[in-house]
Structure 1
Amino acid sequence: MILKRALTLLSVSSCLTIYYGQEKNIDTVFVFDNQMKKVKLFHSLTTLSPADIQKNSSNLSEVLRFQSPVYIKENGRGAVSSPSFRGTTAQHTAFVWNGININSPFLGQGDINNIAIFGYDQIEIKPGGGSVIYGSSAIGGSIHLNNELSFNKGFGGLFNSEIASFGTYNNFAKGAFSNDKFSFKISGNYLISENDYEVPEKKYINRNGKFYNSTLNIGASYKMANHQTISWQSQFYDATQNYRILEESLDRTKYEAQTLRSLLSWDIDKSKFSNSLKAAYTEDNFQYFGIENAPYTSGGINKNYIFKNDFNYFILPKLNVNIIGEFQQNQGEGLGDSGVGKVSRNVGSVAGLLRYFAASDLRFEAGIKQNFVEDISSPLLYSFSGKWKANNWYSLGLNFSKNFRFPSFNDLYWNPGGNINLKSETSVQADMNNEFSVAGFTLRLTPYYMKIDNMIRWLPTPLGYWATFNTNKVESYGLESQLSYQKSFNKNHYLKLSAGYVYTKSVDLATQNQLMYVPLHKFSSNVDYQYKFLRFYAQGMFNGLTFTTSDESRKYAIYPYFVMNAGLLATLMKNYTLGFKVNNITDTVYETVEYYPLPKRNYSINATINF
């Protein structure tokens, strides 16, 4: 029966065969975020492997800045950092860990430099809305931190050590074992940096810029029967960031963060249906120290209990229905003078998706979702996606969706300034993905349009403090493009090229001005070339004019700049790799946030052992 159904699906389409094969092939790999393989059928994603991540090993900000269409605002290397997709804000980006939304209930966003960089099997970047599947904040886009567990691989491991400029030491180790029934993986990372760089042209010294973080990832999976698997994934993260001070005589400040994430998954996977039941617990603790060695000034404790069920059923070989139910309890408690007391809320949702594979080159997906957020009115969300492969060299994808973000604890309860009457932000968006493939080259052109209503903003009041309001409407439109090419020559040569250009116009409709920290133009490129045991890579990034004020003042704008990195790796005796990297070869003076320049030319060396 299973073979008969697989042959039927094979006749439907090669894309569906890939999808169905991934859905059923648990003998090879267990994927914690089972929705991603479905998302890839209809959306274009940027997928980064551990080798890609290693190219920008100092923090996640560097990875996304040079290898994705996302604009990153970073208050100096290793400090507070936030993303901007398609002209939106950090609150409009969803961070998703193994299928679970991990945005902070306090801030409604994720601090990129307080998210572990190593220990994932993939990082995937998805521009565009995704609230039907991934919930609140998935308006501008989503960043997915994914883990996998393989079976029948035996023992394996890796150790990597890096020494870099500014007193930076970075160590990562990973070990794994699996047989036909059991799979286990563990990894750990330790990173510390004095981060005491200088930018003389700006008279800038990164005093008190030290940062440290450590991560432990543990995953295990066990096949209870031919079609049943129980799996567990956990992450433990600890970090300290010191904040830059202007003079040595000033008090040194710091920020500490501790994160625990644990996910248990029970998966049933048969020929006609599959079901994934997940239970997760996440905890984020943070403390701010106005004086480094004194008791904390403020902070918070956030605990989330999450239950999620994902049921997938093939009504017909061409017709698939997917029902997703989720319940969360979010608990928060402010510490010190944080402005938020002890708060909690219940959040539930029910979503339904229908996928139809009309022919070998045509498929559709339609989704609908209702959220139930305690004391907050939530809109009905919907999505529609279609993909058509017109011929061997051109395919067309269309996406239309309504997405949302509900207010964070700070938005609602900060004292003074919180507003318990806030409405959820909503957005409507559409994009059209055109993909051309000729002679090994692939070109993607994606124009998009987005409109956000009831945007939540913090504004000054006559009483002298800032408060939250549902205010302006924002309209964002632009073009995302990517050109890629890869080829092997004579078994000894391998070449991979990618280049992306993004044009973003994001306008406050009340003023008709471009939003702050949204560059009109961004260009990035990556080159990988390997000859036998030698591998060379280079990265380039151009960032266009970026306004830092709401009135488009050029006096305070960040002017265009170009930055380039390059590295060389040599693999010896198959298991040993030595590497050398130069960051900012061009010695460019640049910043992504006004008054916080990033480092000029700097260096690193690294060694990797595979066993």
Structure 2
Amino acid sequence: MDIKRSLVFAFAVCNLSLYFGQEKMIDTVYIFDNQMNKVKLFHKVNTLTSADIQKNSSNLSEVLRFQSPVYIKENGRGAVSSPSFRGTTAQQTAFVWNGININSQFLGQGDVNNIALFGYDQMEVKSGGGSVIYGSGAIGGSIHLNNDLNFNQGFKGTFNSEIASFGTFNNFLKASYSNEKFSFKASGSHSISQNEYEVPESRNYINRNGKYYNTNFNFAAAYKIAPFHQISWISETFDGNQHYPVFFESQTPTRYETQNFRSLLSWDWKTSKFNNILRAAYTEENFQYFANLDQPRTSGGLGKNYIVKNDFNYFINPKWNVNIIGEFQQNQGKGIGTSGITDISRNVASVAGLLRYVTSSTISFEAGIKKDFVEGFDSPVLYSFSGKWKAANWYQVNLNVSKNFRFPSFNDLYWQPGGNPDLRPETSIQTDMDHEFKLGDFQLTLSPYYIRIKDMLRWMSTPMGYWSPFNTNQVESYGLESQLTYQKQINQHHIKLNAGYIFTKSKDLEINKQLMYVPLHKIFGNLDYNYRFIRIYAQGMFNGLTYTDSNEKKSDALQSYFVMNAGISGTILKKYTMGFKVNNIFDEIYETMAYYPMPKRNYSINFNINF
């Protein structure tokens, strides 16, 4: 990575509504994604803490599979993995790192298992469109990887180490220091697994050549240079290596390597009447594919993104505020080897305006409009509207309507042979309504939704013998997301429940068939029990019948399955924690991707120390 020549500075403006007055008064936590608190006012967002993530420490795929409404298809444990929100595809899912969209400029998506699991202070999963704020690809939903910085906390640290089945070792170290004006945090993680598990009941499957390993480093700092001014910086590097499984020993083993770098610098200016964040970011992706494990790379790519963003929020009065967001990006790409992609670049700019009326009483709303200027494309005007009505102490309803889009990736346009420079951006119209019910310590959310996608990009075979992308599909997706939460503490007993049911009907209107890898039904649940120094948890996930082709052929479909995990841990002297976990307790035989069974029952032990 040519970091020294490529790193640039960017600016953004932090916009915190007066609704968050408590946050401004305390002023002890700095959150890099300043928009997320406002998103939570009108949208259902699942927030996963570091403790939640630790339950599924194998990889990010496991976290999302067992603790969110997202469907994850994975080519075997730790291999290529992609998400699906509300019947859409991985390209219609935005990965957002501290407010910056990090989907690959080549693939137009994020590979879940090539995104670090550790190093984030929280992970947030938002269903529904968000292109007005988070840009291209935020159609089905978005996955947010967030960091924060604390002030006046002194020195803190944590170390976690895990040993698991299949020769798996995970290690994570984090340390931070802060005083009244300065805050610094650093973390590093390393994961490695031989990953050669067996599932003899499924065609005598052996996960040959399944090894993977990755290393990740995070650094962040903030300094209050004046009463109303703060400079903040965060940087992340990721180095990953995946060996792709082969079905027979006679097959040639392959592998994939990726190196990613991200850096973000911001200047926050806060007064009683306005907030401004000037932000500059640089992201880089490198990847190499090896058609033979021990031979030189066959193909690859290098992508660089330079981003400048300004976020200005003006408080008209305690209830009304206006938010103006301007952004400019330059996307650069260079293919290596057989891709046929030469040096390419494009400029992307956007301006968005949002008007918010926020109160603590009955009604609040947000209206937004955005225009993107993407080099080589006619981009549509996007809009969003969100309203909240608190009808009673026990009932609240949120309505969301939006128009979202995704412009073609570098591979869609320039891959040789097959790239299609005449593609149009995908657009979608969608609406959802969150009905929130509260009864004692229970909270139930029911969210019916509807999505209509136009000009969906799809790679299809051509008469010339190669594949090429076309704007072909008209897709309609509708269904229901529901979530039930419960928390109760009696003396030293603490119980927490988080469960969800998702129904998804997603049809290709041309043939009126369910899309591939979109299950009709998914259920997930997590139950935690804490008593003094003991913690016990269990989690389960049911996935219904899932078609693997576009013709609803049941004989080739993935059969429904139920997988359950459980763990126990104990803490001594408030610093030392030892835990044991069993994954797939009932030894379920299941696949999330055709022909790639997931592991049967397996185990892990972990040790954590806080200092």
TM-score tier (shorter): over 0.9
Q: Secondary structure at the match of 1:454?
A: strand
Question: Does 2:583 correspond to 1:588?
Answer: no
* 1:532-575 deviation line (CA, Å, top 9, x unaligned): 10000000000001000000000100011000000001001110
Partner of residue 383, structure 1: 384
Partner of residue 257, structure 2: 256
Contact 1:27/1:180, CA 8 A, preserved across alignment: no
Contact 2:18/2:318, CA 8 A, preserved across alignment: no
* 1:173-231 deviation line (CA, Å, top 9, x unaligned): 00000000100000000000000000010110000000000000000000001111100
What is the rounded CA distance, in whole Å, between the counterparts of 1:359 and 1:56 in structure 2? 36
Give the letter aligned to residue 505 of structure 2.
Answer: K
Following superposition, the deviation at residue 84 of structure 1 comes to 0.2
Give the letter aligned to residue 192 of structure 1.
Answer: I
Partner of residue 369, structure 2: 368
Q: Secondary structure at the match of 1:472?
A: strand
Following superposition, the deviation at residue 249 of structure 1 comes to 3.0
**Which runs of no fewer than 5 residues in structure 2 stay unpaired?**
1-15
Q: Secondary structure at the match of 2:411?
A: helix
CA RMSD of aligned residues (A): 1.1
Partner of residue 434, structure 2: 433
Partner of residue 468, structure 1: 469
Partner of residue 8, structure 2: none
Partner of residue 4, structure 1: none
What is the rounded CA distance, in whole Å, between the counterparts of 2:88 and 2:106 in structure 1? 19
Following superposition, the deviation at residue 20 of structure 1 comes to 3.1
Q: Secondary structure at the match of 2:201?
A: helix
What is the rounded CA distance, in whole Å, between the counterparts of 2:569 and 2:289 in structure 1? 40
Give the letter aligned to residue 320 of structure 2.
Answer: L
Give the letter aligned to residue 327 of structure 2.
Answer: E
* 1:462-507 deviation line (CA, Å, top 9, x unaligned): 11001111001000000000011001111x1000011100000000
Partner of residue 285, structure 1: 286
Question: Does 2:493 correspond to 1:499?
Answer: no
* 1:33-75 deviation line (CA, Å, top 9, x unaligned): 0000111111110000000000000100000000000000100
Following superposition, the deviation at residue 26 of structure 1 comes to 6.7
**Which runs of no fewer than 5 residues in structure 1 stay unpaired?**
1-14
Following superposition, the deviation at residue 267 of structure 1 comes to 0.4
Question: Does 2:239 correspond to 1:242?
Answer: no
What is the rounded CA distance, in whole Å, between the counterparts of 1:324 and 1:579 in structure 2? 45
* 1:424-460 deviation line (CA, Å, top 9, x unaligned): 0000000010000002100000000000000010000
Question: Does 2:236 correspond to 1:225?
Answer: no
What is the rounded CA distance, in whole Å, between the counterparts of 1:480 and 1:246 in structure 2? 37
Partner of residue 3, structure 2: none
Partner of residue 13, structure 2: none
Give the letter aligned to residue 264 of structure 2.
Answer: L
The two structures have a TM-score, normalised by structure 2, of 0.96
Give the letter aligned to residue 307 of structure 2.
Answer: I
List aligned pairs for 1:29-48, cutoff 5 A: 29-48=29-48
Partner of residue 315, structure 2: 314
Q: Secondary structure at the match of 1:40?
A: helix
Partner of residue 512, structure 1: 512
* 1:5-26 deviation line (CA, Å, top 9, x unaligned): xxxxxxxxxx97652333x247
What is the rounded CA distance, in whole Å, between the counterparts of 2:563 and 2:195 in structure 1? 19
Equivalences, count: 595
Question: Does 2:106 correspond to 1:137?
Answer: no
What is the rounded CA distance, in whole Å, between the counterparts of 1:121 and 1:359 in structure 2? 28
Partner of residue 538, structure 1: 538
Give the letter aligned to residue 96 of structure 1.
Answer: V
Give the letter aligned to residue 540 of structure 1.
Answer: G
Contact 2:18/2:319, CA 8 A, preserved across alignment: no
Give the letter aligned to residue 240 of structure 1.
Answer: N
What is the rounded CA distance, in whole Å, between the counterparts of 2:262 and 2:540 in structure 1? 34
Question: Does 2:449 correspond to 1:459?
Answer: no
What is the rounded CA distance, in whole Å, between the counterparts of 2:304 and 2:71 in structure 1? 29
Contact 2:17/2:313, CA 8 A, preserved across alignment: no
Following superposition, the deviation at residue 344 of structure 1 comes to 0.6
What is the rounded CA distance, in whole Å, between the counterparts of 2:310 and 2:358 in structure 1? 24
Question: Does 2:164 correspond to 1:169?
Answer: no
What is the rounded CA distance, in whole Å, between the counterparts of 1:369 and 1:409 in structure 2? 23
Following superposition, the deviation at residue 115 of structure 1 comes to 0.3
Partner of residue 417, structure 1: 418
Give the letter aligned to residue 386 of structure 2.
Answer: S
Partner of residue 406, structure 2: 405
Contact 2:232/2:266, CA 8 A, preserved across alignment: yes
Contact 2:17/2:321, CA 8 A, preserved across alignment: no
Partner of residue 481, structure 1: 482
What is the rounded CA distance, in whole Å, between the counterparts of 1:211 and 1:498 in structure 2? 31
What is the rounded CA distance, in whole Å, between the counterparts of 1:226 and 1:357 in structure 2? 26
What is the rounded CA distance, in whole Å, between the counterparts of 1:318 and 1:162 in structure 2? 49
Contact 1:441/1:484, CA 8 A, preserved across alignment: yes
What is the rounded CA distance, in whole Å, between the counterparts of 1:405 and 1:26 in structure 2? 39
What is the rounded CA distance, in whole Å, between the counterparts of 2:277 and 2:487 in structure 1? 36
Following superposition, the deviation at residue 604 of structure 1 comes to 0.1
Question: Does 2:130 correspond to 1:123?
Answer: no
The two structures have a TM-score, normalised by structure 1, of 0.96
List aligned pairs for 1:3-402, cutoff 5 A: 19-22=20-23, 24-25=24-25, 27-202=27-202, 203-357=204-358, 360-402=361-403
What is the rounded CA distance, in whole Å, between the counterparts of 2:600 and 2:395 in structure 1? 42
What is the rounded CA distance, in whole Å, between the counterparts of 1:62 and 1:26 in structure 2? 35
What is the rounded CA distance, in whole Å, between the counterparts of 2:361 and 2:93 in structure 1? 34
What is the rounded CA distance, in whole Å, between the counterparts of 2:27 and 2:452 in structure 1? 44
Give the letter aligned to residue 493 of structure 1.
Answer: H
Following superposition, the deviation at residue 96 of structure 1 comes to 0.2
* 1:283-316 deviation line (CA, Å, top 9, x unaligned): 0000000111211000000000001110001112
Following superposition, the deviation at residue 357 of structure 1 comes to 2.8
Partner of residue 5, structure 2: none
CA gap of 1:16–1:103, structure 2 versus 1, over 3 A, is closer
Following superposition, the deviation at residue 359 of structure 1 comes to 6.5
Following superposition, the deviation at residue 358 of structure 1 comes to 6.0
What is the rounded CA distance, in whole Å, between the counterparts of 2:19 and 2:58 in structure 1? 35
Q: Which has the higher contact order (CA 8 A, sep 6+)?
A: 2
CA gap of 1:339–1:349, structure 2 versus 1, over 3 A, is same
